[in-house]
Structure 1
Amino acid sequence: MASTTPEGSPQSDTSATYKDQLDKAAIEEREREQPSKPNPIVEKITEYIPAAAKVLGPKEKAQKEEPPVPGPPERPHHDPNIEAFVRDQHKSKEPTDDMTDDQE
């Protein structure tokens, strides 16, 4: 026995249910592939009001953790020589009275 779809084309009951099953499976697959997009208004509110982020904010931000910060980088083997040179340069720049004579 044939039934009519909302478009008016005749289809059998089994093909209509099969199509519905395919449509449902396709919709579910699309929803799984696409990340849920939060409401842009909610994003703006949580951006400007940090306390509201706990209530309105997306759950995935709470799950993300920043990787630990690595320690300081190792100093090159010639770094003490450079440090000593720079310290010597700064020591040699003591104020002299030459500048006060020019202002008179």
Structure 2
Amino acid sequence: MIGIMGEFDALPGISQAALPVAQPIDGKPSGHACGHNLFGAGSLGAALAVKDWLQQTGQGAPCGFTAHQAEEGGSGKVYLVRPALLRRRRSAALAPGR
């Protein structure tokens, strides 16, 4: 299986409203947005594109997407590795962006 990982965060001080534009929170300064939201969406798009390509070309490998949270100081990937959730994958792609 080919695994593609996406990261996301729900940080304090950032509106979590499901809107396509910034939504400030009254009485709070601008929150820290580190880009994990973009990485998560881009990784999902990549997983869907790889899955389509594998199907169109008749390749035998399945493709999976794993999203994990708490990347801003919460060590989200540690909790995936501990119970062996990633061991089913033969390959895993992660582009941390730093």
| TM-score normalised over the length of structure 1 | 0.18
Bigger fraction of residues in helix: 1
Max Rg structure: 1
